[in-house]
Structure 1
Amino acid sequence: MSQRLPPNDLRLTEEDLIDHYEQAPCGYCTSLPDGTLVRLNGTLLQWLGYTRDELVARATVQQLLTVGGRLHYEMHALPLLLLQDEVRELSYQLRHKDSSTRPVLLHARLLRDTDGQPLVVRLTFFDITERHRYEQELRRSHALAQEHSIQLAQANALLLTQNEQLSRSTADLDNFVYMASHDLRQPINNMAGLFAELKYAAVFTDPETEGMVHMFEAALQQAMRTIDGLAEIVQQQRQELVPIANQALYPLAEEILGSLQPQVLARQAVFTLDFEAAPTVHTTRPALYSVLYNLFSNSLKYAEPGRPARVRAHSELVAGTVVLTVQDNGRGLDLARYGGKLFQLFSRFHPEVEGTGTGLYLVNRLMTQAGGRVEVTSEVGQGTTFRLVWPQ
């Protein structure tokens, strides 16, 4: 059996009620029904900064509160206390001797005499400084979040307006380009017809005339190709209503190569097609046709002189996308020099080869509209590889 503790040790377990009252972690005080203070514990006096003699029988509970708290205590707390003998968790600000304040929660209980008349009020104050600070910080965070939300909504509205304006501007520009290309086509055709009649009817004696005639014809053809290129760009832009479906690569590629047969023969070109891994692309037929046509025709147009053109087109599935690769052994490009301009409209990097500078612009635009992208690697004199990443 365990031994009993000696009497001195037992005294250590006895609670000193006065010390407990004075050093409690909360503030205690007792007042008369009119609020006159008759007793305060040491904790409350320490908070307030007063001595006991400065407050007992000299001040009221109301005077310990801020102006707003006094009014609330008189108009709300005391009537409730007289009605139900107890009030709980009322939020006030204690006013210290140095005029600083402390947020507290007040609990009060009314004690009555044997006749039921109010005798004294016992009040307990709980310091809620940390809770008050947390609530203030929470309110600030909430206000800041609301402000950011408003700013984000305003930014989104501005972005939406700008996108709408950009869409209208793009549509207006496309309409202008389409109308301009349409209106210019007829005058250019008229000029070509008149010039053909002039060549047939006129007699040129100057030996330099023949060269000038060829230059003028070349200029007319270049102007017509540019107009055709612009018209094609706008026409492709207007294909948005064409239904999207799985487009088979083999038959479309063979159709394009059939239309390019004269250039294929002239370049002694060999095309290798391998679409087994990913035989279809989910897009519109006009978009896929235009992309393949421009890449195939460019591989023939920019073939290395004196070397038969070799072009390999293949597809594969990569991370849920279809990657279509077109690789040639042509002239290649200096990407360090021209990479930033590769997809700009009317950009040309081999001036010795006839062209309008619209093909790669159109390829990139169609891929962007489809939610895909174009990746390019190239080496001068060795060839160029285009990787078209199509989302599925």
Structure 2
Amino acid sequence: MSDAADDEQLPELDLRLTQENLDEFYEHAPCGYCSCLPDGTLIKVNQTLLDLLGYTRNELVAHMALQDLFTIGGRLHYETHCVPLLLLQGQVREISYLLRRKDRTTLPVLMNCALLRDADQQPLVVRVTLFDITERRKYEAELLRAKDHAEQQREQLAKANEQLQRKNEQLTRINADLDSFVYTASHDLRQPIDNMAGLFTELKHSATFHDPAATSMVLMFEEALQQILDTIGGLTAVVQQQRELEQVPNEAVALQPITEEIIRSLPGIDPPATFTLDFSAIPTLQLARPSLHSMLFNLLSNALKYADPSRPAHIRVSTALVDGAPVLSVQDNGRGINLERHGPELFQLFRRFHPEVAGSGMGLYLVNRLVRQAGGRVAVESKVGQGTTFRIFLPR
């Protein structure tokens, strides 16, 4: 019962398929077929192979040997490698050769051979199948070119990385040398400048100036001297603080208490400033505590220093998660900075953008340096007369 059901499920065969001519199939197979005697003499060749090589049947059959179709190197390989394997194993599979066409061009093929023996086990005939692998060779050549190109790119990238590493090492040494120079120079200059300040103080007490302009000139000299002292002190402090912070390990620092502590230490202004703290997104940061303290102190003290006198200062400190990384923001409604004019030099040492406000020009330089040391970056948005926002992007 089941056999009858299976027969009913079979599709009806087109009767033309049962009339397939085996000779026709051999002649026009999708690959080249040939048969040859043990010495290689061709005795049968299908039309597909004739079309591939450009020969007529009479030019090949009984007139040429299989090895005559190979290049010189291919013939040597066939006679020294392929024939012994045929005699030993009775077949060889997937050997790549180049065949010579009648027009002297070459055809890459993949060859399979089988050796038939007679009743006495003597070699009788070799049946050969030849597959045109022209497209495959092109694909392989393209892969090799792509591999060579990738290798060249890899070598160039390795050289570029090596050069970059050398430059980084050089910059590191230069920065260290500059820090040492600045620290030494500021330390060595401190003593003569202090002596000059002392002598000037004695001069003011002991000397009498009759010129009416002397008083203003003395005041100007005193201010310039104080400016020099502040600059030397600032340079020393920056380098010394940098060296100290390099030795401090990172730790989980709670932002709310450290920010409140800094706000309590800031000088008061009139009218009093208001602060909004929002650390709900990221309550703690993994940083060296002194570094974080210095960043926040400089940004918050700048926000107070450059408050707009026409309105009460309002400062917002907050955190956010951007692309999986923490961002610390300090936003104020102060005087603002003309970024089109001063943006490129914003974090340079001793740069000041509001001359009417006293300052050393080292706060933002130090903030930027500490953030970069931590592996982050600082972004600034500001509009003159509206305020400034500093965003510290830290690594994950």
TM-score range, shorter chain: 0.7 to 0.9
Instruction: Give 2:315's aligned residue.
Output: 312
Aligned residue number for residue 291 of structure 1: 295
Q: Deviations over 1:40-79 (max 9, x none)?
A: 1111111111111212222111111111110011111112
- 1:304 deviation in Å? 3.8
Question: Is 1:23 aligned with 2:45?
Answer: no
CA offset digits 1:230-268 (Å, max 9, x no partner):
22222232111112223344554455455544xx25x44
The CA distance in 1 between the partners of 2:16 and 2:354, in whole Å, is 105
Indicate the residue corresponding to 2:246 in structure 1.
Answer: 240
Give the Å deviation of 1:379.
3.3
* Superposition deviation, residue 182 in structure 1: 1.2
Change (3 A) 1:91 1:349: same
Please name the residue that 1:343 is paired with.
347
- Which sits farther off after the overlay, 370-379 or 231-240? 370-379
Aligned mate of 2:182, from 177, 180, 187: 177
Percent of aligned pairs sharing the same letter: 59
- Structure 1 residue ranges without an equivalent (≥5): 3-8
CA distance in 2, matches of 1:243, 1:110: 78
TM-score, normalised to structure 2's length? 0.86
- Which piece of structure 1 moves more, 345-354 or 277-286? 277-286
**C-alpha displacement of 1:220:** 0.9
SS across alignment from 2:385:
coil
Query: Which whole-Å CA distance do the structure 2 matches of 1:321 and 1:24 have between them?
Result: 64
CA contact (8 A) 2:255 2:279 kept: no
Give distance in 2, aligned partners of 1:23 and 1:250.
Answer: 85
Which one of the candidate residues 205, 208, 230 is aligned to 1:200?
205
1:302 counterpart (299, 306, 312):
306
State the distance in 1 between where 2:25 and 2:283 align.
Answer: 86
User: In structure 2, what residue type is equivalent to 1:379?
Assistant: K
Equivalent residue for 1:163, pick from 165, 168, 179: 168
The alpha-carbon deviation at position 194 of structure 1 amounts to 0.9
Match of 1:220 in 2: 225
| 1:38–1:56 contact (8 Å) kept in structure 2 | yes
Q: CA deviation at 1:171?
A: 1.1
Q: What is the letter of the counterpart of residue 69 of structure 2?
A: L
Q: For residue 27 of structure 1, report the CA deviation from its aligned partner.
A: 1.4
Q: Write the distance in 2 (CA, Å) between the matches of 1:12 and 1:159.
A: 70
Change (3 A) 1:271 1:322: farther
- RMSD over equivalenced CA pairs, Å: 2.7
Give the Cα separation in 2 of the matches to 1:286 and 1:164: 26
CA–CA distance in structure 1, aligned partners of residues 56 and 68 of structure 2: 15
Give the Cα separation in 2 of the matches to 1:363 and 1:230.
Answer: 14
Aligned partner of 2:272: which letter? Answer: A
Task: Name the amino acid aligned to 1:296.
Answer: L
Q: Which of 119, 131, 134 is residue 129 of structure 1 equivalent to?
A: 134
2:234 touches 2:362 (CA, 8 Å); kept in 1?
yes
Bigger drift between 362-371 and 216-225 goes to: 362-371
Tell me the alpha carbon deviations over residues 297-355 of structure 1, each in whole angstroms, 9 at most, x when there is no partner: 323433445x4752424334434555544444433222232223222222211223332
Instruction: Indicate which of 81, 90, 114 corresponds to 1:85.
Output: 90
Decide which of 72, 80, 83 is 2:77's aligned counterpart: 72
Question: Residues of 1 paired with 2:48 and 2:136: CA distance?
Answer: 19
| Kept after mapping to 1: 8 A contact 2:273/2:304 | no
Query: 3-state SS of the aligned residue for 1:18?
Result: helix
Q: Secondary structure at the match of 1:110?
A: strand
- 1:2-151 aligned at under 5 Å gives the runs 13-151=18-156
Contact 1:294/1:359 (CA < 8 Å) preserved in 2?
A: yes
1:354 to 353, 358, 374: 358
Higher mean C-alpha deviation, range 130-139 or range 371-380: 371-380
Q: Is contact 1:271–1:311 with CA below 8 Å preserved after alignment? A: yes
Distance in 2 (CA, whole Å) between partners of 1:151 and 1:310 is 54
Residue 333 of structure 1: which of 324, 337, 351 is its match? 337
Q: CA deviation at 1:85?
A: 2.8
> Contact 1:300 / 1:309 at 8 angstroms: preserved in 2?
no
Distance 1:372 1:172 in 2: 23
Structure 1 residues 175 and 36, CA gap change in structure 2 (3 angstroms): same
Letter in 1 for 2:246: E
Is the contact between residue 89 and residue 107 of structure 1 (CA under 8 Å) also seen in structure 2?
yes
* SS of match in other structure, 2:149: helix
Deviation, structure 1 residue 276:
6.0
Q: Which SS does the other structure have where 2:102 is aligned?
A: coil
CA shift for structure 1 position 359: 1.3
Q: For 2:225 and 2:122, how far apart are their aligned partners in 1?
A: 115
| Secondary structure in structure 2 of the residue aligned to 1:348 | coil
Contact 2:303/2:315, CA 8 A, preserved across alignment: no
1:9-48 deviation digits (Å, cap 9, x = unpaired): 9677233222222112221222222212222111111111
CA distance in 1 between partners of 2:159 and 2:51 (Å): 51
- Equivalent residues of 1:279, 1:315 under 8 A apart: no
Given that 1:81 and 1:110 are in contact with CA atoms closer than 8 Å, whether structure 2 keeps it comes out as yes
CA distance in 2, matches of 1:371, 1:314: 21
Q: 2:385 aligns with which of 381, 385, 388?
A: 381
Question: Any conservation in 2 of the 1:309–1:330 contact (CA below 8 Å)?
Answer: no
Note if contact 2:107-2:132 (Cα within 8 Å) is conserved in structure 1: yes
Asked if the contact 2:315–2:333 (Cα under 8 Å) also holds between the matched residues in 1, the reply is no
- Deviation by residue 1:209-246 (Cα, 9 ceiling, x = unmatched): 11111111100111111112222222232111112223
Tell me the residue number matched to 1:190: 195
C-alpha distance in 1 between matches for 2:21 and 2:89: 32
Match of 2:272 among 263, 269, 274: 269
